[in-house]
Structure 1
Amino acid sequence: MDRFDQLRILTAIVEGGSLSEAARKLNITPSAVSKQLSQLEDRLGVRLFNRTTRKLSLTDEGGVFYERARAILADLAEAEESLASQSGQPRGRLVVDAPVAFGRYCVAPVLGEFLRANPEVHLDLRLNDRLIDPIEEGVDLVIRIGQMKDSALIGRRLSKSRRLVVASPDYLKKKGRPKTPEDLKAHACLLHSLRRPQSEWQFMKEGGGVESLSLAGAFESVDIEVIRVLAIDGLGLAQLPVWLVARDLESGALEEVLSGHLSPDPDIFTLYPSARHLSPKVRSFVDFLVERFGGERAWWATKL
């Protein structure tokens, strides 16, 4: 192994927390990791880690060297991507951050198509619902649902996340079907507490504008997939995105109510740091997202 390989092993040990985790990440044996670490320490003439049977920690010298090693590897990756940019070939590590439910239901099922078309791209898909700073967290591209706000990031709108009010046939049989948004106040409503305010559902007025209804929820959760499960189980009405419940509507597990009363639907969009050069890997993934989810067509129904 060359010196760059030893630097990769060092960073993998630090970031993985153990020799065995570094070996797993690099797809080599733990003994090979241990041997290369020993050779690196012998060449440098310093001990990089304090080792006990239970713990592995960097020495002061090891901490300084790790930071330099990480910077060197980052520069190397940037240099390689720069060459790739000139040839236009997408390659390298691509870190994408997406909302949990949208990532599971919509992004993950189509990733194979992207990866087969771009075999030199190593995709790292991270799912979470919190707002992040892409530059600070080393993320190349963010997918979000909501309102695009002014920022130092480049944004590209994909489509609308259409929201429907749904309930199970069993619930509607027992409690009746609401005919107007105002009727919702007499029903058990399942609230998504990640929305603010979570107790408000909004509907478009006939003459323009938005009507906001404050509802006394029967249940609330930060996890939108939990809301879906409870709606199917007949515990109440829920206002959910069509891409989440499309299969349930087709199977009959859920039914749409208030179909004539539209909600102001949030945007699905991508964000990426404007301070970075748009590399082929990012550009190709943005184009892929536009192709799969762009426009006003019913893309959520393609997997039904």
Structure 2
Amino acid sequence: METFSSIECFVRSAEVGSFAEAARRLSLTPAAVGKSVAKLEARLGVRLFQRSTRSLTLTEAGHLFLGEVSASLLTIQNAVANLASAEGRPAGTLKVSMGTVFGRLYIVPLLGEFLRRFPAINPDWHFDNRQVDLIAQGFDAAIGGGFELPQGVVARKLTPAHRVLVASVDYLAEREAIVEPDDLKHHDGILIRSPQTGRVRSWQLTSRARQHSPLTLKARMTMSDSEAACATAVQGLGIALVSMPFAVGYLEAGTLQRVLPEWYVDDGNISIYYAEHKLLPGKTRAFVDFIIEQFAERGLGRRFSAV
């Protein structure tokens, strides 16, 4: 068991490049983590890390050893977690990352039913619009769109990630008619600034007939959130390009209308992400299957499609 603990300290330190950060995630002291790794090095007879006051880097032997043990460590941990489940049912803390507004609108309302089915699971949900490192940051799953898929992580599609043009009835009544994409250049745009890069992306519109056209809206203002852009468009201040999950409530209520309803932006998919390994923890499997089931039963894929 002592060797297993030392290997866990080594793997976590290698993932984050710091004994201090590894100690924080393992609920140990940095000195305890460093001592544990040193014992492992002594037992193996090789140096696994090059240490300095500012950095912790793997040696060649450390790289080789990490490749050999990291997947096996995860499998063992998941096996222990599954055996420790309450009376064979999924149990434990479920750490999930999701977009702030999307999570509040569409995932939080599912929590009651999820806990009725799996009362031994304790949700630890983090609301953030940035991509997280599932493995290094210890997340069981994440929900979002437009994420890069790192090695060791798989994605299950929940719904298309379509963006649509919306405006208020008053705005459209007072401005020139919009018949084709090129007409947009005469209109005020409420554009979305990426919270990650701070940039306003150049979008390409796609028609249901699979034609393409650049988005030529004038940037009257920028927002970093689709929900805020919708609330701004309701005031008649311009045309917003927003994600369907945020626009659909306004469209169904009639406070916003689609502009050029035959056109939309295809931004990939909204998916649920989790680490790929043979023995998925029961709590993670239960959550992934539940979310996919609920999105299908509630027709959210169809509701969020702009086509």
Give the TM-score normalised by structure 2.
0.67
Q: Does the 8 Å contact 2:131/2:147 carry over to 1?
A: no
- Structure 1 unaligned residues grouped into runs of 5+: 1-60, 69-76
In the TM superposition, 1:183-262 aligns within 5 A as 183-194=183-194, 198-204=200-206, 208=210, 210-262=212-264
Q: Secondary structure at the match of 1:136?
A: coil
Name the stretch that deviates more: 90-99 or 238-247: 238-247
Deviation per CA, 1:11-60: give whole Å up to 9, x if none.
xxxxxxxxxxxxxxxxxxxxxxxxxxxxxxxxxxxxxxxxxxxxxxxxxx
Distance of 2:277 and 2:125 partners within structure 1: 21
> For residue 285 of structure 1, what is the aligned residue in structure 2?
287
- Distance between the aligned counterparts of 2:88 and 2:200, measured in 1? 45
Q: 1:259 to 1:208 in 2, by over 3 A?
A: closer
Is residue 109 of structure 2 the alignment partner of residue 109 of structure 1? yes
1:99 equivalent to 2:102? Answer no
> Which 4+ runs in 1 deviate beyond 3 A?
61-68, 77-80, 84-88, 147-150, 205-210, 294-302
CA distance in 2, matches of 1:98, 1:198: 22
Give the superposition deviation at 1:294: 4.1
Q: RMSD value over aligned CA atoms?
A: 3.4
Distance 2:123 2:276 in 1: 20
Q: Within the alignment, does 1:143 sit opposite 2:147 as a pair?
A: no
What is the CA–CA distance in structure 2 between the aligned matches of 1:276 and 1:194, rounded to whole Å?
35
Distance 1:80 1:177, change over 3 A: farther
Aligned CA distance change for structure 1 residues 148 and 263 (closer, same or farther; 3 Å): same
Q: Deviations over 1:160-184 (max 9, x none)?
A: 1232211111211222442211111
Equivalent AA in structure 2 for residue 226 of structure 1: A
Using the TM superposition, give the Cα deviation of residue 279 of structure 1 relative to its aligned residue in structure 2, in angstroms. Answer: 0.8
Q: Is the 8 A contact 2:94 2:124 kept in 1?
A: yes
CA contact (8 A) 1:292 1:299 kept: no
| Equivalent residue, structure 2, for 1:13 | none
State the secondary structure of the residue aligned to 1:161.
strand
Residue identity in the other structure for 2:178: P
**In structure 1, C-alpha distance between the alignment counterparts of 2:158 and 2:180, rounded to whole Å:** 31
Q: Distance in 1 between matches of 2:299 and 2:201?
A: 30
The CA deviation at 1:66 is 9.4
Tell me the TM-score normalized by structure 1. 0.67
8 Å CA contact 2:100, 2:128 repeated in 1: yes
After superposition, residues 45-124 of structure 1 pair within 5 angstroms as 64=31, 81-84=81-84, 88-124=88-124
Shift of 1:238: 0.9
Q: What is the match of residue 57 of structure 2?
A: none
Name the count of aligned residue pairs.
Answer: 237
Selected match of 2:273 from 267, 271, 274: 271
Q: 1:109 to 1:272 in 2, by over 3 A?
A: same
- Classify the secondary structure of the residue corresponding to 1:162: strand
1:259 offset after TM fit, Å? 0.8
Contact 2:207 2:262 in 1 (8 A): no
Which amino acid letter does the alignment assign opposite residue 139 of structure 2? Answer: V
Measured in 1, the distance between the counterparts of 2:32 and 2:267 equals 50
Consecutive unaligned residues in structure 2, runs of 5 or more: 1-27, 36-76
Amino acid in structure 1 at the alignment position of 2:264: L
Residue pair 2:82, 2:282 contacting (<8 A) in 1 also: no
